[in-house]
Every structure is written in C-alpha cells, then in structure tokens.
Amino acid sequence: MLALAVGQVLFKLAARNMVDAAPLVQQILFNGHLWVALAVYAVATAFWIVLLRHIPLALAYPFVALAFFFVPLLGHWLLQEPLRWQNMVGGMFILLGVWISVGWKTRT
C-alpha cells in the first residue's frame, strides 16, 4: 500500500512535467517520473502476487485502502499540497475500517 502511495506521488510529478506544447508521445517517453512510477507499480504488483500466494484476499485487500490515508499525507509532505481536516477524518475512518476488517478476520 505504501508503494501505491509513492507511485501516486510520482504520477503527480510526472503530470507536472507535462506541457501542452510538446507531443504526448514525447512527454511519455522522456518523463523520468512516469517511468519510475510505472516501475514502482510493477514491483508492487509482483510483491502483491507473491503475497496473495500465502494470504487470503479477504485479509490482504483491506490494506490497499491504506493508500487513501497515505496519499494525502505524502502529497502534503512532498508536494506541498493542502491537507484538509476532512482528509484526516476520512483517513481515521479508513484506518478504523481496516482494523475492524482485518482484526475480525484474523480472529475467526
């Protein structure tokens, strides 16, 4: 889930580097942030597949929701984007939801 959040920050940086004047293909081919983001997602996907070989999907998947908590934080810290109180309240609900989902799944 942290790799998903880092990938999103890198995609945002890639988008910032794109300009309307240049052809899209050129912007994609020469955008380092974009290629690193895609590599992060590729590695994360490989780890996810390995993880799913050992853990039930119902137990692993709730952790994906944690990206919705970490992306606004990383956006604030690394991109100086505003962090609203609604982000934090929503993030707390997400943390609670993951805790309830995974906590109950591991006990039964």
Q: Would you list the DSSP string of 48-107?
A: HHHHHTTS-HHHHGGGGGGHHHHHHHHHHHHH-----HHHHHHHHHHHHHHHHHHHHHHH
Q: How far apart are CA 48 and CA 61, in angstroms?
A: 10
The owner of tokens 């974009």 is 34
- Residue 17: the pLDDT is 87
Q: Please list, in sequence order, all residues whose beta carbon lies within 8 angstroms of the beta carbon of residue 84, skipping any fewer than 6 positions away.
A: none
- Residue 53: the pLDDT is 97
CA 78 to chain CA centroid, nearest Å: 14
pTM for the model:
0.83
User: How confident is the model over 4-16, as a mean pLDDT?
Assistant: 95
Q: pLDDT by residue (tens digit) across 12-53?
A: 999 998 888 888 888 889 999 999 999 999 999 999 999 999
Q: How far apart are CA 74 and CA 69, in angstroms?
A: 9
Q: pLDDT by residue (tens digit) across 68-89?
A: 999 999 999 999 999 999 999 9
